[in-house]
Every structure is written in C-alpha cells, then in structure tokens.
Amino acid sequence: MRRAMFFWVFICVFAWGVALAADTPMKVGFVYVSPIGDAGWSYAHDQGRLGIEAMDGVTTSFVEDVPEGPDSERVMLNMARKNYTLIFATSYGYMDPMLKVAKQFPDIVFMHCSGFKTAKNMGNYFGRMYQARYLSGMVAGAMTKSKILGYVAAFPIPEVIRGINAFALGAQSVNSDVKVRVVWTKTWYDPATEKEAAKSLLDVGADVIAQHQDSPAPQEAAQEKGVYSVGYNSDMSKFAPKSHLCAPIWNWSSFYKEMVEKVRQGTWKSESIWYGLEYGIVDITPMGSMVPEAVQKRVLAKKAEIASGKAKVFVGPIKDQSGKLRIAKGAAADDQELLGMTWFVEGVAGTTQ
Amino acid sequence: MNLEFLIPLLAAAVQSGTPILYATLGEIFTEKSGILNLGVEGIMMVGALAAFVSAKFFGSPILAFLIGGCAGAFLAGIHGLVCLDFQGNQVVSGLALTILGVGLANYLGTPFIGQAAPGFSPMPLPVLSKIPILGPVFFDHDPLVYTAYLIPPAIWAFFRYTRWGMGMRAVGEYPRAASAAGLRATGYRWAGVLVGGYLVGFGGAYLSLAYTHLWTNGLSAGRGWIAIALVIFAFWHPGRAVIGAYLFGGVMALQLRLQASGTHIPSSLLLMLPYALTVIVLVLSSWKRQGTEVPSALGINIEPSE
C-alpha cells in the first residue's frame, strides 16, 4: 500500500515536471559585439532575433556591446547557467570563449557566427556575403563615370578581402576597365575615421563609395559630394537617399527560425553552415531609382543565376594584382580557397597588409 | 606631390584638426589657471552626446553647439568641486572624470546610435574662399571651423592684455602671491576650469554636429588624450596649439590619402604615423625648453588658508 502510494506520488511529480518542462518557453540568447541601434552588423542579427521572438514558446534575450575576449565568456556563462537552450554569439572573437563554455554545458546548443571551430554541441554559421557584394559591384560598375570605385574597408582579413574581390569582379563584369581603390581604417566602427577615409577616396576620383564598415558615415560623405554609394549590413538609404544605389544585406531571420525548430525537435547537429543567396541569408536591397531599368534587370538575372547555382562568383581565369594567374580558366574556387583568401584580384589598388 | 593632392589634404587637415584644436585650447585655458584636468576625453564625449541629443530635439545646431559646451563645463565643474572645494588630487580626479564621462556618454547615448540629427554643413565664405590655395584650404568649411579661428587670438589677448587674464596667469604661477595681492585665487581657478571645460565640450560637439552627423559609442576615439599631449607641444601657447592640432589632423588625413592613392606601404605602418609623430614632436620640442613654460603651480592645490 505504502509502496503504491510512493509510486503514485512519484508519477504525479514526474508528470508535473514534464508538464512544466513543456510549458517553459525555450530560452534563446544572443551575444552582440556592438550596440543594436547601429543599422549595422548587430542590428541585422537583432532583426533575426525579433523574427524568432515572434514564434510560439520561444523567449529571447540579448546582451549588446560585449567586448570580445574574457567579458564575452562571462556573458555566455551567465546565459548557460540560467538554462538557456540555445545561444548565438555573433562575432569572430567569441569563438574561443564560446568553445570553453560549450564544453562545460554539454546540454546547451551553441552557435558561433563567422568562425571555424566546432564541438559536439557547438556549430558555426555564416553567409556567402561575397555573392551579394558581386551584385552590388555590378550596380556600382554600371553607374560609375570615372571608372574608379572607392572601398572603405575595416581589416585585411579573408572575409573582407573576399568581399572586395567579389565587388571588383562584379564591377568588371559590366565595365571591364573599372578600378577599385581600397582604404583600410582598422576599425569596424568609427564614423569619423570612416568618413575621412571615404573623403580621401573621393579626392582621388572615386565616384561610387562602397564599404565594409558598420557605420553609415561613408554614405554621408558620398551624399555630401553628390556621388553614389553602396551600403552594407542593412538598407542605409535613409542616411543618404540621393546616393544610396543598393546594399548587400544580411537576412538572419529564417536561418535563426530554422535553428530554433531543429533544436526543439532534437534534429540539430553540429556542423559548419555557409549559406548564400539561394537561402536568402544574404541579399541585396531594392536598387535606388537612379539605377536604370536595364541594369536592374541584369543584376537580378545574375542574382537568380547565382542562387540557382548556375553561376559562381570566383570562376577563372582570375589574376591577382601582380598579374599572376590564381584561378585557372574555367575552374571555380573551392570553399577552402575562399575562406583563406589573402590576395586582391587584378584591378584593385591597395595592399592586403 | 601636386596641388590636386595637396589642397584636399590640407583642407582635411584643418577639418580633422578642429575638434582637437577646441579641446587643446580648452585645456590650455584650464592649465593656465593652475588646474590640470586629465578628463578631456570624458568631457568631449559628454559634450558630443549633449550636442547631438539637443540637435535632435531642438533642431537648432547653433543651440546644440552651445549646449554641448555647457555639458562640458558641467562635467569640468565636478573636477572643480573635487580639486577646489575638497582639495582632491587633480591627476586622480581627472582620470576618474575620463572614465565617468566616457561611461556616462556611452550609457546614455545607446538609444541614439544610428539616428540622424541636423548639424552643420560646409558653408564656403564669400570672397575669401576664392583665394587660390588658401581659399579651399581654410575658408571652404563648416561654420564651426571658422569659429575655431577666432578663439586662439582671443585667448592670447585675454592672457596678455586683460586684468582678469593676467590675474589668472598669476594664480597659475604662484597662487600665494596672487592671494597676497588681493586676488581671489579659487575664483580664478573656477573660471579656468569652467571656461576650459566649455571649450573642450565644443570639441566634442564638433565631432557629432559637423565632422559626422552621428552619435556612436566611443566617438572621440582618443582625441582628448591627443589634446592633452598637444598642450605640452604648444608650450601653453594658443598659437602653437593651432599648428599642433592641424599638424596632427594633417597626418591623420595623410595616411588615409596615401592609401587611397594606391601606395604600397602597409596600412598598419601608416596608421601608426599620427601617434608616432606625437611622441617625436614631444621629445623634440621639450629638448631645450624643459619646463620653462609650465605654469609653476600646475597640478598643485591651493591650501584652504590661502
């Protein structure tokens, strides 16, 4: 009798626990490297977060402006201790801290953006932004009169170099003798320096300014000079409505939704994800009204080709700055080559150091 | 190097030197009265934020600029309170002020990141901007650059020709003698702190109203510290502060322009230039005139009995 009672009590408690577990919403945490209000990198990720916040049974929270390094480890540790189910860290420098925390909490799923290390419960993800940059390069190449495009870039790392190369190839595909001039600012986010860098490009004759920076300051410089610009991260047209041709952008929402679904159903597995235009994780904004119809059509046609896999961005023959053949005729660069790219294609002025 | 390269470079030197010039002049003013304020970086940040927010809400850049100055003076007032009323250590208080100012501005400014506010745009001066070379370099900027031209002569004349200016210098050199002569030493120092803070606030406001029209965390990016170094470079002389600020602005602009013109020098090396220059200039300029121009009582508090 007593044993039976224990049994029933046990069953009740267990059932209550299961019910409670099912009722508790899934907690998803985000760690951002910059403030979300910047119309830039973290803003784009936060738009994705808002997408999953709208899902049933999911609550999200985020910590913004977290410096890479020990601080980020503390933030992730804190989330893990509070029983988050899934944690996204959205900057390269969070990779090692996240790996450390992931080992301590094997039941939590960790996702790291833009890195290369994985663990049993930690995957990484990124988007093929270079595809969208190629398209924006086509637009810039069609719109330039001086045949000089200016590119304000943050750090000479493969991700940025790849983007510059894709941009240059896109521009050359519509306007064969276009040159791209690059200025490194060595900062992701410093409006004053970025603007000064854009101005210095304008002074050497650039009439389209593109950027791999998180602030809209280069757009502002282009508009003040009355020339065109290409944004980045999100639609920056509100900062320079007369200049903004288009922007390669991030669309994280559907990707984040997919990950949440997978974790919830238990089908998530650790892998390295590198989606592109076909998935919509990268895209370009609608082009401004100053871009002629014919150009818009051509760009969108190319977008469809890349998305369907019919066309690739880095297809030989591609020579580097010194004229050396880097990708043979007809060959396409594989992912390994793309991820380790440290050279500029022909037609880019600047150093990768 | 041809004129086509040189003129935009010099024009950029003047513009990127302007926020540093305001801050340097403010610090010179404060130090002349004998108070060392190392909080320049923090004051600039608070000035920049206050100016940006006021421009957004009131829509008037001129008003916003003045409010930026007021915010700077307010923060400097804390330094005054610590050093003049409570006899606190000036170095420690100044450093604390930097941390406080930067932190406060980043905290309060977060909601304003990525928003747009009205500001100053370039306004070429009639006639003057038509002068060859000098015109585009000096007279084709926003109004705040022109305002900065007026302040150094004003400060110079103030210290040289006015009673108050001479009194302030006396307090900075030898407060005890100044008190004995019937001057209110603490009052003069308060004026030095507040007016100096006002000018430093202008420097911050320039960053968010004219240089860019944006607010972001860490907008001043170390310019406040450069200003403190330039005070020593300038030997506390407003005229030399102009040279120092524009020289620094020029090297900053030069490294970006060298990159844009397609040089093969590694960019990391070029980015180091402005800071390397600061060190070299400081060494060279202190070679012979060691310490002769420093206000003698700089950093030393006035004893309450005085």
**What is the domain-level CATH number for residue B250?**
1.10.3470
Is B135 in the A-facing interface, judged by CB distances under 8 Å?
no
Please report whether residue A258 resides in a domain: yes
Shortest Cα distance, chain A CAs vs residue B72, angstroms: 20
Mean pLDDT of B279-304: 76
3-state secondary structure of A149: strand
Distances A167 to A2, A8, A20, A313 between C-alpha atoms, Å: 76, 68, 52, 10
Q: How many domains does chain A have?
A: 2
Residues A46, A164 within the same domain: no
Please report whether residue B128 resides in a domain: no
Please report whether residue A280 resides in a domain: no
Range of the domain at B263: 3-116+139-287
Confidence tier at B291 by pLDDT (50, 70, 90):
low
ipTM over the 0.85 cut-off: no
Contacts of B218 in chain A (CB under 8 A): 190
- Cβ separation of A224 and B122 shorter than 8 Å? yes
Residues A233, A260 within the same domain: no
Residues A88, A171 within the same domain: no
Residues A148, A33 within the same domain: no
Residues A238, A159 within the same domain: yes
Please report whether residue B279 resides in a domain: yes
Residues A106, A198 within the same domain: no
The residue ranking higher by pLDDT, A286 or B127, is A286
pLDDT for A303 equals: 95
pLDDT for A288 equals: 93
**DSSP assignment letter at A69:** T
Q: Which residues of chain A carry a pLDDT beneath 70?
A: 1-24, 38
User: Residue B254: pLDDT above 50?
Assistant: yes
Is B280 in the A-facing interface, judged by CB distances under 8 Å?
no
- Cβ separation of B257 and A200 shorter than 8 Å? yes
CATH code of the domain containing A300: 3.40.50.2300
User: Residue B282: pLDDT above 70?
Assistant: yes
pLDDT for B170 equals: 92
A220 with B213: CB under 8 angstroms?
Answer: yes
Range of the domain at A104: 2-127+252-275
Residues A119, A133 within the same domain: no
B47 with B103: CB under 8 angstroms?
Answer: no
**CA–CA dist B128, B118 (Å, integer):** 26
Please report whether residue A211 resides in a domain: yes
Please report whether residue A218 resides in a domain: yes
Residues A240, A170 within the same domain: yes
Compare all CA atoms of chain A with the CA of B249 and give the residue at the minimum distance.
A196
Residues A136, A182 within the same domain: yes
Is B87 in the A-facing interface, judged by CB distances under 8 Å?
no
Q: How many domains does chain B have?
A: 1
Compare all CA atoms of chain A with the CA of B7 and give the residue at the minimum distance.
A203
Residues A189, A204 within the same domain: yes
Q: How many residue pairs bridge chain A and chain B with CB atoms within 8 Å of each other? A: 105
Please report whether residue B306 resides in a domain: no
Contacts of A35 in chain B (CB under 8 A): 110, 113, 217
Is B259 in the A-facing interface, judged by CB distances under 8 Å?
yes
Shortest Cα distance, chain A CAs vs residue B30, angstroms: 27
Residues A118, A161 within the same domain: no
Using CB atoms, pick whichever of A150, A203, A353 lies closest to residue B266: A353
Predicted TM-score (pTM) of this structure: 0.82
Please report whether residue A219 resides in a domain: yes
Contacts of B271 in chain A (CB under 8 A): 184, 186
Mean pLDDT of B56-72: 94
pLDDT for B212 equals: 86
Is B111 in the A-facing interface, judged by CB distances under 8 Å?
yes
Is A139 in the B-facing interface, judged by CB distances under 8 Å?
no
Please report whether residue B216 resides in a domain: yes
Q: Quick: pLDDT tens for A25-65.
A: 899 999 998 888 767 889 899 999 999 999 988 999 999 88
Please report whether residue A196 resides in a domain: yes
Is B1 in the A-facing interface, judged by CB distances under 8 Å?
no
- Cβ separation of B260 and A195 shorter than 8 Å? no
Taking all residues of chain B, what is their mean pLDDT, rounded to a whole number? 89
User: Residue B289: pLDDT above 90?
Assistant: no
User: Residue B306: pLDDT above 50?
Assistant: no
Confidence tier at B129 by pLDDT (50, 70, 90):
confident
Residues A135, A240 within the same domain: yes
Residue A343 in tokens: 């050279």
Taking all residues of chain A, what is their mean pLDDT, rounded to a whole number? 90
